[in-house]
């Protein structure tokens, strides 16, 4: 994929994964998040007993986890909101394509283009990239202290790659600043850590391109299935 195609998919992903929860919701979204239930008739309890006919003229008691709810009608206007808005419906194919990704690429897409700051996504991204990058370190002897500092650079490299994809005016971290963050002198940074920093940034670039390519493949496959 060339640069124009990559940027097109990035724009589609940002539009599909945008968090518009602050706007007016359709009925399906509203029911999913806040079911408008009247709990006065049948108060909700953790466990309550329901009496059922046992078929032999007697009664048996069954413990139910949830009580019955009387749901009120949500329509309070002459023309109700549609179950799902046009914008959300038109981009659902992109969201389905993202959901088919593996944990690492999916977490990257959600963090980088959906701006989802859930900690589990951050953890999955770092684990995925470190597992890939650590394979290139086989046969290289590293001190435990040096390895620990390299691992601490993984999340910084993730932020660096994400910022480049969303901000054209982004300025990269200076080597001296990165050295201070990991507690290394400028000479030690240039000699020992700078190559690993470049390697981690390249690993995130590969993750980004792979994730976008996988989304496109899933999106195209879904469209072909819909046509068939």
Q: Mention every residue, 6+ apart, whose C-beta is less than 8 A from residue 92.
A: 16
Residue 35 has phi, psi (to 5 degrees) of: -65, 120
Say whether both 95 and 115 belong to one domain: yes
Shared domain check, 147 and 183: yes
* Range(s) of the domain holding residue 44: 37-71
Whether 118 and 42 map to the same domain: the answer is no
> pLDDT (tens digit, 9 = 90+) per residue, 147-167?
999 999 999 999 999 998 888
Both 54 and 93 in one domain: the answer is: no
What is the share, in percent, of the chain residues with pLDDT greater than 70? 76
Predicted TM-score (pTM) of the model is 0.71
Domain identity same for 91 and 135 = yes
- How many independent structural domains does the chain possess? 2
Q: Which of 20, 11, 66, 73 is nearest to 43 (CA)?
A: 66
Same domain, residue pair 41 and 135: no
Both 171 and 205 in one domain: the answer is yes
What digits encode the pLDDT tens for the residues 67-117?
Answer: 555 555 555 656 666 777 777 778 888 999 999 999 999 999 999 999 999
Regarding whether 65 and 133 lie in a shared domain, the answer is: no
Strand 70-71 and strand 59-64: the pairing is: unpaired
76 belongs to a structural domain: no
123 in the same domain as 53: no
CA-based Rg of the chain, rounded to a whole angstrom? Answer: 26
DSSP β-ladder status, 37-38 and 70-71:
antiparallel
pLDDT digits (tens, 9 = 90+) for 164-201: 888 888 888 888 888 888 888 888 898 989 999 999 99
Q: How far apart are CA 160 and CA 168, in angstroms?
A: 12
Domain identity same for 223 and 114: yes
- Give a yes or no: residue 99 inside a domain: yes
Same domain, 8 and 49: no
132 and 178 inside one domain:
yes
Residue 199 lies in a domain: yes
Residue pair 136/199 in contact (Cβ under 8 Å)? The answer is yes
């Amino acid at each position: 994929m060339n640069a124009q195609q990559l940027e097109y998919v990035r724009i589609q992903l940002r539009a599909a994964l945008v968090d518009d929860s602050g706007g007016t919701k359709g009925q399906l979204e509203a029911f999913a998040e806040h079911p408008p239930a009247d709990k006065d008739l049948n108060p909700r309890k953790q466990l309550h007993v329901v009496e059922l006919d046992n078929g032999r003229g007697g009664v048996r008691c069954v413990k139910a986890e949830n009580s019955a709810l009387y749901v009120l009608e949500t329509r309070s206007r002459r023309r109700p909101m549609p179950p799902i808005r046009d914008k959300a419906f038109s981009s659902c194919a992109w969201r389905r394509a993202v959901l088919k990704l593996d944990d690492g690429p999916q977490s990257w897409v959600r963090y980088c283009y959906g701006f989802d700051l859930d900690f589990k996504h951050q953890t999955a991204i770092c684990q995925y990239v470190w597992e890939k990058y650590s394979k290139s370190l086989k046969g290289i002897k590293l001190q435990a202290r040096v390895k620990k500092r390299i691992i601490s650079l993984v999340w910084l490299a993730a932020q660096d790659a994400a910022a480049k994809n969303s901000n054209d005016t982004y300025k990269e971290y200076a080597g001296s600043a990165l050295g201070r963050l990991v507690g290394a002198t400028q000479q030690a940074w240039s000699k020992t850590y700078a190559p690993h920093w470049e390697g981690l940034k390249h690993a995130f670039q590969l993750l980004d391109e792979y994730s976008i390519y996988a989304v496109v493949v899933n999106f195209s496959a879904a469209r072909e299935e819909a046509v068939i």
